[in-house]
Chains A and B, each alone.
Chain A
């Protein structure tokens, strides 16, 4: 049976006008317009969210779990990813935005930034012990992970094969609170406030073992809304907690690389999916073998660029940098867990390739298709007009070879042939 893939994207057919914005933007050519409506190729989509951002008609929308999902659980834990801190204007203190979440009914609020320190330590150790796999590729961005699976399967062994901080946090706190509260682990709901749909997809369909063990993914913008509406009520309330601003660097693409890098570890930070594709091509060609660690994020500037945020990524970035500069370092109760990492408790299984590049599983057939593809390409006008519903002539040629389209879909060619006939 063919595997189906979960995507955090909803297509609203009635709203689609067949305008091609999304088709041209998609970095994996997963979208087509057929009969005036958008279609998504389940296998190709990596949940980068670019199509949502460019759709002028609201026909492609992000899906995530509603805030009310917390009500189904006795003990509610919220994990807040780092970009959350960049969403609020500076007159609202960071600690206030955390306090509000307690007021909204979460029993415990965990900042993802708590794990930054121990993750940096793990990354350095991992890089030093996997010199044969140079360069190591960061695993934080689920869109990048999927991109590697579908377009660069030869680089799968280079991925940092360790649990994501949110899985480590959810495992740790689920266990801790089920013991303290005397509850079954299933009665504890662990939710994560996420900046992008790739994270939603990863929570709903974990790849290997990344981002497992979570009960829901709530959009940062939904949390933001609830918190903004709640602020007036919480001024005088007291909750006891400390915040971990110094770990917020996770939200920013360059900052993580700077933290992991040192004299022995040479790093590059890459953000924006086109740049990521270019760099992965170079890694594949072994041009970047002198680097030890490459931080890859699908969104501009890193996770602050995610589509489920509220604030512009550059403004959010500046705010987070201000918070980091003013922060103090706290040792965290997670820090001793480095030994669990050394014991292999955070190891994840290698990921399976999901190549979309292959024309056929049988090489002979693939060669036949390739020849046919080249012949069709010769006939097509090569102007990439998109009127056929495919992003470019090459993609249409491939669709024709795979039996998903026919040569008459090319309007230019059709017109030319008609003119010829009438002559």
Chain B
């Protein structure tokens, strides 16, 4: 099992506080992502964005969440057998988990390199698969955590503080 975790410099303290306190989420919403369902892919992240907008989250933060969650949702659609998204909303952050049904990332280190892609032809035809997904998520999320292994599910978690 390979694990990768990135915490942005600004978020170190907030994240420490968050893991120490372990607060209960104020709200929790689940979404399903279908295997290669490009028609509906992006809807969950769109709904998450809308909900945070309604809660009054600052536009700049909203942008970060929108980009990171959209990329992650597309990843689940394009590269996995489908899966679930769980969005936990806290008073000071949003924590989104993307849990897919496999087949897992063979080489996690490579997958994090900008431009590296295993996308098949169908995915590329749809205009995705440029190999910028994970690097883009890393750039926009305050905390990014991935665990994966071949032939297992991949769990990607992101946290963005308001």
Residues of A within 8 A of B (CB): 153-154, 281, 284-287, 353, 355, 357-364, 366-367, 370-371
Pairs A–B under 8 Å by Cβ, sample size 22: A284-B49, A284-B66, A285-B46, A285-B67, A286-B67, A286-B70, A287-B42, A355-B53, A357-B54, A359-B54, A359-B56, A363-B56, A363-B57, A363-B162, A366-B54, A366-B55, A367-B27, A367-B55, A367-B89, A370-B27, A370-B54, A371-B26
Within 8 A of A (CB), among B54-109: 54-57, 59-60, 62-63, 66-67, 70, 89, 91
Q: Is the interface of B mostly helix, strand, loop or mixed?
A: helix
Measured CA separation A154–B63 after assembly (Å)? 8
- A284: shortest Cβ distance to chain B, in Å? 6
Q: Does B2 contact A (CB under 8 A)?
A: no
- Judging by beta carbons under 8 Å apart, are A154 and B26 in contact? no
- A288: shortest Cβ distance to chain B, in Å? 12
Chain A residues within 8 Å of B49, by CB: 284-285
Chain B residues within 8 Å of A353, by CB: 59
Measured CA separation A366–B46 after assembly (Å)? 19
Chain A residues within 8 Å of B63, by CB: 154, 284, 286
Chain A residues within 8 Å of B56, by CB: 355, 358-363, 366
Q: Does B122 contact A (CB under 8 A)?
A: no
Measured CA separation A355–B53 after assembly (Å)? 9
- A282: shortest Cβ distance to chain B, in Å? 9
Chain B residues within 8 Å of A363, by CB: 55-57, 91, 162
Residue of A nearest to B59 (CB): A154
Chain B residues within 8 Å of A364, by CB: 91
Q: What are the interface flags for B23-55 relative to A under an 8 Å C-beta threshold, 1 for contact and 0 otherwise?
A: 000110000000000000010011001110111
Chain A residues within 8 Å of B62, by CB: 154, 284
- Judging by beta carbons under 8 Å apart, are A359 and B70 in contact? no
Chain A residues within 8 Å of B50, by CB: 357
Measured CA separation A363–B93 after assembly (Å)? 11
Chain B residues within 8 Å of A359, by CB: 54-56
Q: With A363-B91, A367-B26, A367-B91 in contact, do A286 and B66 touch (Cβ < 8 Å)?
A: yes
Chain A residues within 8 Å of B42, by CB: 285, 287
Chain A residues within 8 Å of B51, by CB: 370
Q: With A154-B60, A363-B91, A370-B27 in contact, do A358 and B54 touch (Cβ < 8 Å)?
A: yes
Chain B residues within 8 Å of A367, by CB: 26-27, 55, 89, 91
Residue of B nearest to A364 (CB): B91
Measured CA separation A391–B49 after assembly (Å)? 22
Chain A residues within 8 Å of B57, by CB: 363
- A154: shortest Cβ distance to chain B, in Å? 3
